[in-house]
Every structure is written in structure tokens, then in C-alpha cells.
Amino acid sequence: MSYPVVLVNVSRNTNAISFPMGLSVVANALLHHDITPQIIDLIPVAPDRRIDYFLRSLPTEPAIYGFSMMIGNFHLDHAEQYARLIKERSPDSIIVYGGSLPSSVPEMLVENCACDFVIHGEGEVVFPAFVKALRDGRRHPESPGIFYRKDGKVVGTKAKRMRRLDHLSRQNYSLFDMDFYTGYFKEVGLGWEIMASRGCKAHCSFCYKFMGDGIGLREPGEVLDEIQHIMDNYGMKKFYFVDENFMQVKKYFFSFLEEKTKRGLEFEFIASSRIDEIDEERVGIAKQHGLLALTTGVESVNQATLNAIDKRIDVADAERAIALLRRHGVRPHVNLIMGFEWETEDDYKAMLDFIERNGLKGTVKLSYLTPLPATRLYDDAKSRDKLGKPEFEYVRTLGNLYWELMVNMTTMPDELLKRYYALISDVGKETRALPVTPAYRQNLNEDLVMYKTISATTPVATMGA
């Protein structure tokens, strides 16, 4: 059966708008295989019109519907709402879930959700092959990365990580409302999101690595082609690399900057890096090429905690790296975590001192320690009955990740933990502009407290990177 393919982007509880990168990559891969998908993107649609718009957009015949979702922020609940509407309208349609959450717990979602299939891993490879199999009449394809019910059981094997991200991993912007998305990024002064790599070489116990270990890299030319397209067609001059650790492969990073120079591309960028990748050579060259700010995970200012979570850095190294960034005129953004089981009030007082001592007011993102599937922390919390509810219910109700307390692993009362979170956040959290355009503002939950907010009418140049 020649099923139409529909890719669906649903809303989630958030304080920022993001372009649906995962779906755009899958759309690109489908087009490469001569499969033209329909896109139903609900983000540009007014919230009170979304259900009506969605129902009017559905094909009349049974189709394959692909939902991409992240973990937390009630993304799963929102996807389930629309998946059930599809099944009510078209019972023979096929619902497929993909993205970071489905890849973390594929069996759990097949067992408990409205989906017929779950795609594990990088969808640009698995999903086109899956579509072709269904169109060829193979209702139960056995390719790696596909999970489904068969004879009352969930079957499937996990996909392997892509080590080389090729042309299939490029984003395709042609099917999306780019004026809506680029307009938002310009209005609030943020960099356009771009990806050069996936994965990180580190093995921190809390880190959410749903595809396991390893690193996948895109060719520098491919990344720069994408950047040039955004610059030429949408006037964006600032970019944010969503890579976990953009600078981790030194040879690759320098090749990227060398190719940027050859092309004469002038743009500014923000990226992330581990503390142990921040050195004079990399930062100095990156600054010359437009690096504005660098986010790095310090996580804790207690050396014993850093050792226990396999962070493999020293507090002194973190302070030296922060000073190095400042020397080169690069704005440091620091991630900290609170809630490790052995922590005491002294740890949080030390955090406040660290922020003050290193001049980090307004540049810190503080997160609650949250056990997420596919992490050692989650496995430990589950084995010790720390999740506080049945496993699927815990995953389904993961709400405002990192700034809402999900699990208290410490011996301190919740109220005390929240009090210190509020105190440290108030000192550390950065200022972000809220959009003034109603079409953007209606997508945001302004009660979320990760950032201090001002009106976007304030010149963004005054807000740093």
C-alpha cells in the first residue's frame, strides 16, 4: 500500500521556541529516497486553533504518521493527544514515535502508548527504510531500530550510532514556515540552531546519552553549506551549535574554522564544550572566527562529587577555564546541578561563593538532578525505588525538566532544596528577551523560571551573548 507520510510537530511546555531540527533532518532523508512527506507543524498555529487545524490537515486515506519527541516537558502527553485523534479518524493509519524519548525506552512506549511502532536511534537512516518496508507490504520489518508488537510481545533491536553523519543528516527547511521561526530568533536575539556533531566522549553518570557512547561528525562543508543557506535566504548572522561538545575533536574543529575562512563566511556563534577542551589555542582561534559565548558543564563545585559522578575535571581547572574565556573576550555560560544524594547545605553555600568568586552572576543555568532513562543515575534510582511512582508514569509525567524538582535524592526536605534552588537561580540565571509578537508569545509558558526575562523591545545588544 502506498501510504502517504506525515511528519507531525506538536507543542511542549517550554519557555522558548525551537525549530524542529529532528523532523527537518528526517524530511531531508525521506526526500533523498524520493518520499515527499507532508508536514503538520502546530507551533505556528494559535493554541486554540490547533486541534481544528490538525484534523483539517489529515489525509483522507490511511497514512504513516511520524512524531518526534523529546523527554520531559509533557511532550509525550501532547503527542498522545494527537495520536489518538488520528486513530479515531483513521484506525488503519500507522503511528510512529521517534526522537530522544522513544529511543531511550522503546519497549515501554510500544507497550503503553498509542503508537504502533517506535524508531530507535537516528531517524534519517531507520525511518526511510521503515516506510519503504511498509509500502512493500512488510508489516513487521526486522531492520535494526524498529520496535513493535508481535504475537503479544514487543520485539525489536536497537540501531547502531552513525559514526559519520552524511548528507542525510542535513536539515531541509523547504517544508517549514521559516519566516515564523527565523522571525522569532531575530526578535529575541538568539542564534539559529545548527548541528555539526552528535555525542560526547565523556561518561558522566547523570548524562542523558540515549544512543550510548561514541561521536558522529558531519563534514565541515556540509555544515557550512547549511549555515550559508540560512545566511543568504533568511539574513541570520548568529548561530548556536547544539552539539554536546563542539570542540571535542580538535582536528575537526580546526578544519571547520579553516573551511569557514576559505569561504569568507562572516558569522558569530555560540557553542558548548567540556572544561578539559577549553584551552588557549582553541579559544583564541575560535574567538577570531566569531565565538561569542561558550557553555560548559561544571555541575558541582565539590571535588568529591565531581569524582563520584565521573566528571573527570577539577574545580580549579574549571576556574582557570572561566578566566581563560574572559581573557579572550568570550562570555562563559556555566551549568550547575543540585540534588546529589550526599549533598548538604554547605555544598549550596559553596555554589553561591563560586558564582560570586568567578563573576558568574547572570551566566549560570542551575538544574535539579533528574534521573532520566538511559543513564546510570536512572538505573540506580529505579533499583532503589527512588522514582516514587511506576516507571511509565514517572517517564510520562516528567514535567519541566531541570527547573522542577522531580525526585529528591538527598536527605534534605523538598522545601529546603527548593529554597536553595531559588536562591542560587536568582543570582545565577541569565536574562533572556521575551518576544512581543503574539504568535510567538502564545507558545511560551512564562511561569517557567530558568531565565530572567525582559521585553524584546530592549536592544538585544545590551544583553551580551
Domain spans, the chain: 5-155, 164-463
Contact (Cβ atoms closer than 8 angstroms) between residue 460 and residue 188 = yes
Q: What is the pLDDT along the chain (465 residues), one digit of tens a residue?
A: 789 999 999 987 777 899 999 999 999 999 999 999 999 999 999 999 999 999 999 999 999 999 999 888 889 999 999 999 999 999 999 999 999 999 999 999 999 999 999 999 888 889 999 999 999 988 777 788 999 999 999 999 888 876 676 777 889 999 999 999 999 999 999 999 999 987 767 566 666 655 556 678 899 999 999 999 999 999 999 999 999 899 988 999 999 999 999 999 999 999 999 999 999 999 999 999 999 999 999 999 999 999 999 888 999 999 999 999 999 999 999 999 999 999 999 999 999 999 999 999 999 999 999 999 988 889 988 998 889 899 999 999 888 877 889 999 999 999 999 999 999 999 988 877 788 899 998 888 765 545 555 556 543 333 333
| Superfamily for the 164-463 domain | tm_1862 like domain (3.80.30.20)
CA 60 – CA 7 distance, rounded (Å): 15
Can you name the CATH fold of 5-155?
Rossmann fold (3.40.50)
Q: At 141, list the grid cell.
A: 520489518
Report the predicted TM-score, pTM, of the whole model to 2 decimal places: 0.92
CA 403 – CA 419 distance, rounded (Å): 12
Contact (Cβ atoms closer than 8 angstroms) between residue 403 and residue 367 = yes
Signed CA dihedral, 133, 135, 140, 145: sign only: positive
Strand partners, 214: 200
Strand partners, 155: 148
Query: Phi and psi (nearest 5°) for 441?
Result: -60, -35
Question: How far, rounded to the nearest angstrom, does the alpha carbon of residue 148 sit from its chain's CA centroid?
Answer: 25
Compute how many other C-beta atoms are within 10 angstroms of the C-beta atom of residue 391: 14
CA 435 – CA 83 distance, rounded (Å): 30
Signed CA dihedral, 191, 193, 198, 203: sign only: positive
Helix (H, G, I), strand (E, B) or coil at 382: helix
CA 395 – CA 100 distance, rounded (Å): 12
Compute how many other C-beta atoms are within 10 angstroms of the C-beta atom of residue 355: 21
